[in-house]
Structure 1
Amino acid sequence: MSKKVVVVGGGYGGSAAAKFLDGVADVVLVEPKEAFFHAVGALRAAVDPEFLPRIFFPYDKLLTNGRVVRDRAVRVEPGRVTLASGEELAADYIVLATGSGYPFPAKVDVDDTAAAQDKYRQAQVNLDAAEHVLLLGAGPVGLEFAGEIRHVWPEKKVVIVDPVADILSEYDPELREEVRRQLAELNIQLVLGSPLKENPPTETGEWGTFHVSTVSDVDVTADIWFRCFGVVPQTGYLAGALADARKPNGQVAVAETLQVKGQDTVFALGDITDVAEPKQASAASRHVEVVAGNIKALIEGGSELAAYQPGPAAIILPLGPAGGAAQLPGMGIAGPDITSQYKGADLLTGRLGQLFGITGE
């Protein structure tokens, strides 16, 4: 009989792992969302109504042999996955790929596609009405979101506040210099090295003029604000022997083979792992090669498993469809032209269309 593999989570890594193993094992992908959510394109969807439908991909053509169960895993232990509906799935192998939560609009916590799209449309309306935008967080999300806003509304004032002393400190100085240059050209203001004294009085994404100050007494007036920080690994479902592998920050301890520490048949990939590297969709894709390859090897009776080695620091940071900068292994620092070729124009929607069996994307 075919071995049973349950993949928990249908994000970048989970979907790709399920697809890889679809011809190797009896695969069940557990995912509560109605459609795959393309987070890489989410910030553009928050400003461009025509782009919005392109970040949702139905799961119905992902697997040829296996099945997708629209449900949420509430308890996962070696050999068994319990769903919110009460159904229990027995598994010879389990892949944990539940990713992370992040404040809207970089991610959305709504499982229904129509409801999620409504939330983005409301954000577009509120942004359109705002003259001044405040973004809290000068990491890749805050910087990219600022670029998207200025591309659609070049007249809006955008201010980014962060207590850190410099942007993108984990990357090369040349990258930081290039990003700063483009931000200055876009007239995006950076207020670094000092947090706000208190959060704005309105809810995130809500229209309404307010005044706030940083601890260093920089005054900011804005009509809308968004939180652009706060990754939270989604691992609260771990139970039994797997609960011991959950670290205080929510990440899962893994071996070099990406097997959960102390486990032979349970693997983890993507944002939830404790691998020391930036949590990016590209990293999850590299994890898939190791995890799916190792499960295939085990199913076929192999004993030597591949080890995952994090790559050098790399980032592709769009600042609107035609702007941005990148740090790429072997290529150094790239400017707007190369960045838009790799990611800026369609934000990888075409590649995802191929994965999910959607032609014409």
Structure 2
Amino acid sequence: MRTTVAVVGGGYGGIAVAEQLDDVTDVVLIEPRDAFVHNVAALRGLTDPQWTDRLFLPYDRLLTRGTVIRDKAVRVDATSVTLGSGTRIEADYIVLATGSAYPFPAKAGTEDSATAKSRYHATREVLAQSGRVLLLGGGPVGLELAGEIRTAWPDKSITIVDPGDEIVPGDYSDEFRAELRRQLDAMGIRVILGTRLREQPPSEPGEAKTFTATLHSGEQVTADIWFRCFGAVPATGYLADDLAVARQAGGLLAVTADLRLPGQERVFALGDITAIPEPKQAGTAVGHAAVIAANIRALVQGGGEPTTYRPGPPGIVLPLGPHGGATYAPDWQNHVDPATEAHIRQQAKEREDSLLALNILGAEITSQLKGRHLNIEEYAELLHVNQGEG
């Protein structure tokens, strides 16, 4: 008899672990959405109509042997997953990959792709008519959205407000932030740090309504539209029985070095829902998936020591539109062969050459890494979809 693996969640890590175990187990991928959503490109999907449909890729070609069930897990214990429909799926192994919720437009916020596409198109039309844009949040989402808006509409007024003392919080270098600030200034994007709005705007995010907001600093900012660019919430409320003890304040899950829930031999977790202190990124979830797939494969085949996960140094690829942005990669030279390193150095202009010495890849290389194509090809290939097909 073959082993059943229930993968709860069809995001980046979920599809990766499901695909990697498809040949040795009976995979059941449980996902309430009707299509995989390439959230990495969601902000461009808002500003560029040619990208909107490309965000959504079908699941039906992901697995050769396994099954994709469109439903929501409402209860998960150590041996089974109960769905919203009432169906109970017994499983030998369970992988929790439910990710996190995040305000629109960074995530679609709906399970139906047609509804999501309509929302992106409608919000774009409203945004196009709004001359002054306010973005609340100076993290990666706020900066990236600012860059996409500036690329699509060069004449708009764009203001970012964040209560922190620096943009892009995390273990990144001051030089990296300085390079981003330099590019934001050159793009005419204003950044106000160390303060917040005294009251919430009188309109909903993405709604056209002119208002003047007063900051705690006393300054006033007038905008025609605003977006919330903070507030990830891990989706872990479905845990039951002994699994619930892994849930920490805020919803993140404690995991062991081999990405199991503490005290559980056959329940794993990956991606945004883990309490591992590292950036919550698509690539990180895919890295978790490789470790979990290796461990389940070893358990099924009866041999080998568990594979452990070791977070790498903090790194981020942060585009500001298709042609701007910066990458912080403190160990980049350890991940490329000599020919690739030589090519990167050759591609770097005089300023970018000086950035390389600081482990920062400048706008041109960031554009090549992510800014132009937003990694769509690799996930389309994983899902066996022609590029852009959805």
**What is the TM-score with the length of structure 2 in the denominator?**
0.92
Residue in 2 that maps onto 1:219: 220
Indicate yes or no: 2:375 matched with 1:357.
Answer: no
**Letter of the 1:71 counterpart:** D
Secondary structure of the residue aligned to 2:89 is: strand
Residue in 1 that maps onto 2:300: 299
**Letter of the 1:299 counterpart:** V
Q: Which runs of no fewer than 5 residues in structure 2 stay unpaired? A: 333-358
Q: Which runs of no fewer than 5 residues in structure 1 stay unpaired? A: none
RMSD: 0.8
Residue in 1 that maps onto 2:4: 4
Contact 2:27–2:67 (CA under 8 A) maintained in structure 1: yes
* Larger helix share, 1 or 2: 2
Contact 2:6–2:28 (CA under 8 A) maintained in structure 1: yes
Contact 2:330–2:360 (CA under 8 A) maintained in structure 1: no
Equivalent-residue separation in structure 1 for 2:123 and 2:147 (angstroms): 16
Superposition map of 1:339-350 within 5 A? 339-350=366-377
| TM-aligned CA distance change 1:360 to 1:140, over 3 Å | closer
Greater shift, 229-238 or 298-307, is seen at 298-307
Equivalent-residue separation in structure 2 for 1:238 and 1:112 (angstroms): 24
1:180 CA drift (Å): 0.3
1:219 CA drift (Å): 0.7
% identical equivalent positions: 53
**Letter of the 1:110 counterpart:** T
Residue in 1 that maps onto 2:360: 333
Equivalent-residue separation in structure 1 for 2:321 and 2:387 (angstroms): 23
Equivalent-residue separation in structure 1 for 2:331 and 2:274 (angstroms): 26
* 1:31-82 deviations in Å (ceiling 9; x for gaps): 0000000110000001111111111100000000001000000000001000
1:109 CA drift (Å): 1.6
* 1:237-294 deviations in Å (ceiling 9; x for gaps): 0001111111111011100000011100000000000111011111101101111100
Residue in 2 that maps onto 1:16: 16
Residue in 1 that maps onto 2:337: none
Residue in 2 that maps onto 1:43: 43
* 1:77-130 deviations in Å (ceiling 9; x for gaps): 001000000011000000000000000000022111100000101110111010
Residue in 2 that maps onto 1:195: 196
Equivalent-residue separation in structure 2 for 1:50 and 1:41 (angstroms): 11
**Letter of the 1:53 counterpart:** D
Secondary structure of the residue aligned to 1:190 is: strand
Secondary structure of the residue aligned to 1:126 is: helix
Superposition map of 1:81-160 within 5 A? 81-160=81-160
* 1:294-317 deviations in Å (ceiling 9; x for gaps): 000111112510111110010000
1:329 CA drift (Å): 3.5
Equivalent-residue separation in structure 2 for 1:98 and 1:92 (angstroms): 19
Equivalent-residue separation in structure 1 for 2:37 and 2:331 (angstroms): 31
Greater shift, 100-109 or 351-360, is seen at 351-360
| TM-aligned CA distance change 1:253 to 1:154, over 3 Å | same
Equivalent-residue separation in structure 2 for 1:147 and 1:55 (angstroms): 18
1:360 CA drift (Å): 4.2
